[in-house]
Amino acid sequence: MRVTAEEIKKEAKALAPEILRDRRRLHQCPEVGTELPATCAYIRQRLDEMGIPWQDCGGELPEKMTEDYLTAGFPRMERATGLTALIGRGEPCILLRADMDALPIREENHLPFRSSGTCSHMCGHDSHAAMLLGAARILKAHENQLTGTVKLMFQPGEETGAGARLMVEAGVLEHPRPQAAFALHVQSVEETGTACCAFGVNSASLDTFILKIRGRGGHSSQPQLCVDPLMILNQVYGAVNLLAAREADPASMVTLTCGVAKGGTAVNIIPDEAELHIGLRTLDPAAAAHLTRRIPELIHHYVKAWGGEYELTAFHTPCTSSDPELCSRLLPHVREITGPERVKKIPPMTGTEDFGYVTEQIPGMFLFLGAGKPGNAPLHSPRMVLDESVLPIGAAIYANLALQWLCDMAKREGGDQ
């Protein structure tokens, strides 16, 4: 017998205190990056209590990646501590993803459960993990009614832009392979309980270039004896900023920002080194492919033209896409939880979300879930606060989508089971 959305909503509401406890517990132990030992230990414990088998999914980071992240200013990361868990059995399979890493921001709220260290969950990933744990509780209670498998993906390192990539490389999309994937993200500036989705490209790609220029320092009165890395930096800065204006289609969304430019210690000293960090975002994969080829070319020619040397470290996070056909199947089941008037289509966001590593491989849907109201402090603000009444709503959306998608797939394959 098919479980109804109303039943799911009632069960999620009954679980609200439990989901709230999970969220607050995770909020008080924020961890940054791909290595989240305390967070993963808590989620393993909760899955054990529910009788849900889990597996670690991540492993050792390549040494170059560890060094590249250090270059970019992240703390040292040597492992990816993702988790997967299975509920049900057989085909088909749907993946539900929650990220669980925090930000290197000191929280400036006065909540009784606020984090007190130098990092905090100001992007709401603690709520995602708590909502997925709540959904896991509901799905486990109905495991004998599942017509397939639900795979849970608890992901580290979303804020690094590569946590999903590391889990994909570690096999999260295999054994069993999902035929669909779903993720959501809270929004503190949207009315609680509203659900927003962009069909097609959902978020911008992000390409980051960390450029270290080596010149030859000396006295500012004898520039002919020096190779000035700050002058080279200035040339590169101007050249790459012209790319978006001169070589990108004006119809495509492209932003290019040099967010870090540094070097030197005194006005009368030409330094040995300078550093420039370049960030490129676009909603157009073709523009990204062109510009990520051209930026290193310009860097090479400008640095070499002025006699310098350089090291270039690059990071890529693809666009996240919501498959239109999958959205047309799943959004009715979102409406069953939120009410039809609270679901809307929106333009793609210009921020970046690394769920794109999953949607490159299989059809997926990404949803924004309102957890506040307009005028609130936005995500990544040290004063961001979520409306915790959203927690059972998110858990119900996760659970209902999985249950109903599996039932719909069973119908398509030969009758209601």
Structure tokens at 47: 């899955």
Task: Give the tens place of pLDDT for each residue, 122-138.
Answer: 999 999 999 999 999 99
Residue 106 has pLDDT above 90, yes or no: yes
Q: Where does the pLDDT of residue 71 fall: very low under 50, low under 70, confident under 90, or very high at 90 and above?
A: confident
State the burial class of residue 213 (Cβ atoms within 10 Å of its Cβ: 0-12, 13-18, 19+): buried
Q: Where does the pLDDT of residue 330 fall: very low under 50, low under 70, confident under 90, or very high at 90 and above?
A: very high
Query: Which backbone phi and psi does 80 adopt, to 5 degrees?
Result: -110, 120
State the burial class of residue 26 (Cβ atoms within 10 Å of its Cβ: 0-12, 13-18, 19+): buried
Q: Where does the pLDDT of residue 417 fall: very low under 50, low under 70, confident under 90, or very high at 90 and above?
A: very low
Select from 373, 386, 384, 374 the least CA-distant residue to 108.
384
Q: Where does the pLDDT of residue 2 fall: very low under 50, low under 70, confident under 90, or very high at 90 and above?
A: confident
Measured CA to CA, the distance from residue 58 to residue 167 in angstroms comes to 5
Quick one: CA dihedral 328, 332, 335, 341, positive or negative?
Answer: positive
In this prediction, residues 213-222 reach a mean pLDDT of 98
Select from 84, 95, 19 the least CA-distant residue to 398.
95
pLDDT of the residue at 70: 87
Residue 186 has pLDDT above 90, yes or no: yes
In this prediction, residues 194-208 reach a mean pLDDT of 95
Burial 305-323 (b: 16+ CB within 10 A, else e): ebebebebbebebbbbbbb
pLDDT of the residue at 414: 66
pLDDT of the residue at 74: 83
Instruction: Give 327-341 as a 3 state SS string.
Output: HHHHHHHHHHHHCHH
Contacts of 237 (CB under 8 A, 6+ apart): 258, 261, 276
Q: Are 291 and 243 in contact (CB under 8 A)?
A: yes
Q: CA–CA distance from 191 to each of 98, 368, 377 (Å)?
A: 21, 11, 13
In this prediction, residues 371-389 reach a mean pLDDT of 97
This prediction has a pTM of 0.94
- Please state which of the ranges 112-116, 220-224, 297-301, 358-362 shows the lowest mean pLDDT: 112-116
Residue 172 has pLDDT above 50, yes or no: yes
Select from 174, 216, 182 the least CA-distant residue to 55.
174
pLDDT of the residue at 416: 47
Task: Give the tens place of pLDDT for each residue, 6-25.
Answer: 999 999 999 999 999 999 99
Instruction: Give 270-311 as a 3 state SS string.
Output: ECCEEEEEEEEEECCHHHHHHHHHHHHHHHHHHHHHCCCEEE
Residue 328 has pLDDT above 90, yes or no: yes
Task: Give the tens place of pLDDT for each residue, 223-255.
Answer: 999 999 999 999 999 999 999 899 999 888 999
Select from 310, 291, 290 the least CA-distant residue to 300.
310
Average pLDDT along the chain: 95
Residue 365 has pLDDT above 70, yes or no: yes
Residue 413 has pLDDT above 80, yes or no: no
